[in-house]
Amino acid sequence: MSSQPSYSTLNIELKSAQIGINASELHGFITGIVAGGIQDQSWLVLLKDMMNNGQPIVGELDKSVKLLYEQIKQKLTNENFEFQLLIAEEDLFTQIDDMVSWVNHFLLGLGLAQPQLAKIKGDIGEAIYDLRQITQLDYDEDDNQDELAFAFEEILEYVRITVILCYDEFTDRYSSITIH
Question: Which pLDDT tens digit goes with each residue over 49-99?
Answer: 988 888 888 889 999 999 999 999 999 988 888 899 999 998 999 999 999
Cβ-contact 101, 66 below 8 angstroms? no
The pLDDT score that the predictor gives to residue 139 is 87
Q: What is the pLDDT of residue 79?
A: 83
pLDDT at 175 over 70: no
- Place 1 in a pLDDT band, splitting at 50, 70 and 90: very low
Question: What is the distance between the alpha carbons of residues 103 and 19, in angstroms, rounded to a whole number?
Answer: 19
- Whether 103 is covered by a domain: the verdict is yes
Is residue 67 in a domain?
yes
Residue 123 maps to a domain = yes
Residue 76 lies in a domain: yes
Confidence (pLDDT) at 2: 54
Q: Is the pLDDT of residue 179 over 70?
A: no
Beta carbons of 161 and 83 less than 8 angstroms apart = no
CATH number, domain of 18, equals 1.20.120.740
How many domains are there within the chain? 1
Q: Is residue 133 part of a domain?
A: yes
Q: What is d(CA 13, CA 70) in angstroms, rounded to the nearest whole number?
A: 18
The verdict on residue 180 lying in a domain is no
Give the DSSP letter of residue 95: H
Crossing angle of helices 23-35 and 145-170, in 10° steps, is 30
For residue 16, what are the domain limits? 7-170
Calpha distance 45→9 (Å, rounded): 23
Whether 177 is in a domain gets the answer no
Q: Reply yes or no on whether the pLDDT at 3 is more than 60.
A: yes
Contact (CB, 8 A) for 87 and 99: yes
Instruction: Say what the pLDDT of residue 90 is.
Output: 87
Evaluate whether 35 touches 77 at the Cβ level (below 8 Å).
no
Select the highest-mean-pLDDT range: 14-28, 41-55, 134-148, 166-180.
14-28
The secondary structure of residue 173, as a DSSP letter, is: T
| Domain presence at residue 59 | yes
Query: How do residues 112-167 score in pLDDT, each as one tens digit?
Result: 999 998 899 999 999 999 999 999 988 888 888 999 999 999 999 999 999 999 99
